[in-house]
Amino acid sequence: MSVGRLPEVGDEVEYVPGLRAVVTDIRKGVRYLRRPGYPEWPVRDPDALKVTRTRAERIEAGEFR
């Protein structure tokens, strides 16, 4: 888990305890999340997001084939 940095596109984040999503876009400084079965939504407080896996870690795990 990466602590102390704002999440970037492709990072997996925990947005509330126990729930994870992926940062899909950053528009005008606003991060957008998506999780399976739900539409994309904007994040009001990006400092509250906890990066659980970076995009690079997800690539290494084979999630982008």
Q: What is the pLDDT of residues 16-33, one digit of tens each?
A: 999 999 999 999 999 999
Q: In the prediction, which pLDDT does 59 show?
A: 94
Backbone angles phi, psi at 40, to 5 degrees: -65, 145
pLDDT band at 65 (very low <50, low <70, confident <90, very high): low
pLDDT band at 35 (very low <50, low <70, confident <90, very high): very high
DSSP string, 18-43: TEEEEEEEEETTEEEEE-TTS--EE-
Sign of dihedral through CA atoms 15, 21, 23, 24? negative
Locate the domains of the chain by residue range: 11-61
